[in-house]
């Protein structure tokens, strides 16, 4: 199993479930920061059309190309369904943001052979590891 930083470093395309239009929310500022460091962010939100200069998809299943990582900004009770969707689209890894913990989501990911990170912030791990996808 890769570490959280290895998962991030190896990912080029990150689907962000629960990406927010509100610049004051972490679900906006974290994906934006990750995008600025060279990752492609694919926002998933049923009530927006464009975020971070990218088309917004309603569900993971609507994304027409593979994603390397599914990043989750949804409450823990929603994480189970998001992980099931991640399994269905063949995502190799799922990352629940800081403060989000779900033993059931973890079980589903592990049974499907998907790498799983929870209760960690993508932006913090990027900064601590000094990670970037920019040349």
- 51 confidence band (pLDDT: 50, 70, 90): very high
Residue 135 lies in a domain: no
Write out the residue range of the structural domain in which residue 106 sits: 4-129
Q: Count structural domains, the chain.
A: 1
- 1 confidence band (pLDDT: 50, 70, 90): confident
The enclosing domain of 74 has a CATH number of: 3.40.50.720
Residue 134 lies in a domain: no
Q: Give pLDDT tens digits for 78-104.
A: 999 999 999 999 999 999 999 999 999
Residue 60 is predicted with a pLDDT of 97
Residue 2 is predicted with a pLDDT of 86
pTM above 0.85, yes or no: yes
Q: Of 24, 113, 106, 22, whose CA–CA distance to 72 is shortest?
A: 106
Q: Of 20, 40, 9, whose CA–CA distance to 117 is shortest?
A: 9
Residue 95 lies in a domain: yes
Distance of CA 120 to the CA centre of its chain: 11
Residue 106 lies in a domain: yes
């Amino acid at each position: 199993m890769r570490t959280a930083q290895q998962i991030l470093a190896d990912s080029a395309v990150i689907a962000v479930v629960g990406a927010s239009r509100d610049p004051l929310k972490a679900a906006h500022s974290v994906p934006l920061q990750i995008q600025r460091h060279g990752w492609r962010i694919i926002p998933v939100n049923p009530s927006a059309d464009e975020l971070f200069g990218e088309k917004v998809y309603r569900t993971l299943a609507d994304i027409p190309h593979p994603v390397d990582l599914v990043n989750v900004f949804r409450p823990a009770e929603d994480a189970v369904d998001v992980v099931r969707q991640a399994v269905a689209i063949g995502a190799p890894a799922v990352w629940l943001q800081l403060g989000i913990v779900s033993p059931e989501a973890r079980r589903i990911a592990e049974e499907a052979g998907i790498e799983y990170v929870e209760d960690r912030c993508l932006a913090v791990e990027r900064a601590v590891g000094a990670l970037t996808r920019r040349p």
